[in-house]
Copies of this chain bind each other. A is one copy, B any other.
Amino acid sequence: MAKDMTLWWASGSPPCWRVLIALEEKNLQGYNQKLLSFQKGEHKSKEVTDVNPRGQLPAFKYGDIVINESYGACFFLESKFKSQGTKLIPDCAGSDNNCALIALIMQRMFEGNTLHQKIAEVIMYNWRVPENERHESAFKRLKETLTGELQLWEGYLQKTPGGFLAGENFSMADVIVFPSVAILFHMGLSEDKYPKLSEYYKKLQVRPSIKATWPPTWQETPGQEIFKDI
């Protein structure tokens, strides 16, 4: 199965990392992969745009099937390999307990998109906004918005015993959200200000699927301290 799969990815990109973690959790090691560089513009190469016309990473193929959106690829892998590896989303029909759990997993997964966007807006501000359109006040507001967002997540982890985002078991919510939490700490987020997020980060860091997919560039270069005043 895994031999029919190819993933084009970039180191440290949360959307790419989600798919890497999902592949590990579903025991799909042995897939083909190509590590590309955003800095070198390799995501805009013909090889990538042939698979993903948006020229974005990840790009993912399974046989003739193309599924490039990271949420979609993760859902697809769970759906196709339901009974293989870690069960990332439980079945709902029939059991009310599972239904509550599915709802919590979904709620956190999709809130994870808001978290990711707010992180990306801060990281990318100077890169996306031309110099003559930049305002210190706008950048400050983005950082304040992110602070409010992180306080929400700190609160979620306080209220959810078990150490994972949806309770006692690793789930799709962790697949999706962990890479965003990791990039925050990699780029200087204070462990003292966010003790629950920090505990979560350390707990998951040693999970085999996450160790196996740790961004290779992070081992060479320390991150810029973008989030130290968040």
Contact = CB atoms under 8 A, between A and B. Distances in A.
Number of copies: 2
Interface of A: 53-54, 62-73, 75-76, 79-80, 82-83, 91-93, 96, 99-100, 102-103, 106-107, 109-111, 113, 117, 129-130, 132-133, 135, 137-138, 152
A62 B102 CA distance: 13
A149 to B, nearest CB: 9
Q: Is the interface of A mostly helix, strand, loop or mixed?
A: helix
A151 to B, nearest CB: 11
A194 to B, nearest CB: 18
Q: Top 7 closest A-B pairs, CB basis?
A: A72-B106, A69-B110, A67-B103, A79-B92, A65-B103, A72-B110, A133-B135
A110 B75 CA distance: 11
